[in-house]
Amino acid sequence: MSNYPHPLIAREGWPFIAAAFLIALLVNIYAGFLWAIFFWLMAVFVLQFFRDPPREVPSVPNAVLSPADGRIVAVEKVHDPYLKRDAVKISVFMNVFNVHSNRSPVDGNVRNKWYFPGKFINADLPKASLENERNALWIKADDGSDVTCVQVAGLIAKRIICNALPGDHLLRGQRFGFIRFGSRVDVYLPLDTKINVNIGDKVHATTTVLAELRK
């Protein structure tokens, strides 16, 4: 997988940002500023949605980093439907004001990738994990642990972008995808993982340590 560098603004958003500001400018020119206020506000909203700031990677050994900005909506023991095992699932819900670039939670090799078409119900609901459109990555962490990272579409999210492919080696905090607009990311971890977050906690991609894998 090629490195996916884009300073401050995600490349996935460049066409949308350009279109939004062009529309606002044209309305401003031909109809006046008062008529264009709504379009300028929408253009600023689109710009902030696609922001993608650099993040510092914590040096905590065996850390599982948050793959997304948002709020923890689930920490529970479940059946991992992708690797067919019992696991601990941590779910991060992203609203439209969060950064939506997704980053690898661990250092490891991508062993497999699955895409499932589905519904677009509110991603804050538990059933969204299995009913909504989603893209799952099986990452074999460098310490041998199995981690499943799942991008889940939301109520108005219509596009999941995943640039990682089987065989790629991801580094913790490395950008691997993006979801438009409002969604969640589920992480399935081994049962003996030390969990560092609780439901309701606000987290930030890369900088928040969700959990620590047992050595």
Give Cβ neighbours of residue 133 (< 8 Å, ≥ 6 apart): 116, 117, 118, 119, 120, 152, 153, 157, 160
Structure confidence by residue, pLDDT tens digits, 57-110: 888 889 999 999 999 999 999 999 999 999 999 999 988 788 888 999 999 999
Output the DSSP codes for 117-144. --B---TTSTTHHHHB-EEEEEEEETTS
Mean pLDDT rounded to a whole number for the chain: 87
Q: Which residues are catalytic?
A: 183
pLDDT at 155: 65
Helix (H) or strand (E) run with residue 39 in it: helix 33-49
Reported pTM: 0.84
For residue 197, pLDDT beyond 90 = yes
